[in-house]
Amino acid sequence: MSRIFEEYHMNSKNYHSQNKFEPIYKIKEIDYSKKITSEVKDLTPKKKYQSYKIKSNRKFSNKEIDIEEILKLIQTTYSIDSFNKSSIPSAGEFYSLNLYVVLQNVKEQKKGLYLYCTRTKKLRFLRKQVNNSYLPPTNNFANKASIILIITSNLANLYNKYGDRGYRYALLEAGHLGQNISIYCSENNLHACPIGGFYDDLLSNYLQLGRYEFPLYMYAIGGVE
């Protein structure tokens, strides 16, 4: 018997047979202006504050990126220390995310699929095969990136503690990591584009994921033209 989070994940996958990436009906937007009253004045800051500026970019340089730059990016945005403290919040401190790295154009490194080990902070080589057939045509720009970071989540521990609600926490955790990646790339002269559109089953097969590990998110990252 499948669980609710499995049913949701299965019914929100992308398939080759899809003709549109939009619902068959439209949801009426809520008019929030009707909820605002004039009884209380708006609260405004005394001065303007600078916000983080991030921008997705699909254009990448042909220049190879140094492996140290990749390791710095990953260790800065996602690592867990000996005290079980991390750069992102995680429900129950389970740290369910796994980070797979496809090296495509990295200096003096084999092309292929790697797995980032958060405890040892090393990239573990899995295999040479680079197969991006899990990308729909609209996201083929990722083939020109230096690396593709693929974020997955193993739901086993989250489900055992939180039930089906654990799926929400996995999505939130992936979002926290994605925000770190976007900010890092924007501040370190790297082009990055988050990708949510991919063929789930093809990607799961490529990564050879188990039953309770799901691909959630990915980033194409490369040098600036």
Please state whether 163 falls in left (phi above 0), alpha (psi between -120 and 50) or beta. Answer: left
In angstroms, the Cα distances linking 145 to 131, 184, 192 are 14, 16, 9
Q: pLDDT grade, residue 20 (50/70/90)?
A: very low
Instruction: Please give the share of the chain, as a percent, with pLDDT higher than 70.
Output: 87
Q: What is the value of pTM for the model shown?
A: 0.85
Per-domain residue ranges for the chain? 57-223
Strand-pairing partners, residue 219, are 149, 194
Model confidence band, residue 49 (pLDDT cutoffs 50, 70, 90): confident
- State how far the Cα of 6 lies from the Cα of 180, in Å rounded to an integer: 27
Examine the pLDDT at 209 and tell me if it is beyond 60.
yes
pLDDT higher than threshold 70 for residue 200: yes
Higher-scoring residue by pLDDT: 157, 83: 157
- The CATH architecture annotation of domain 57-223 reads 3-Layer(aba) Sandwich (3.40)
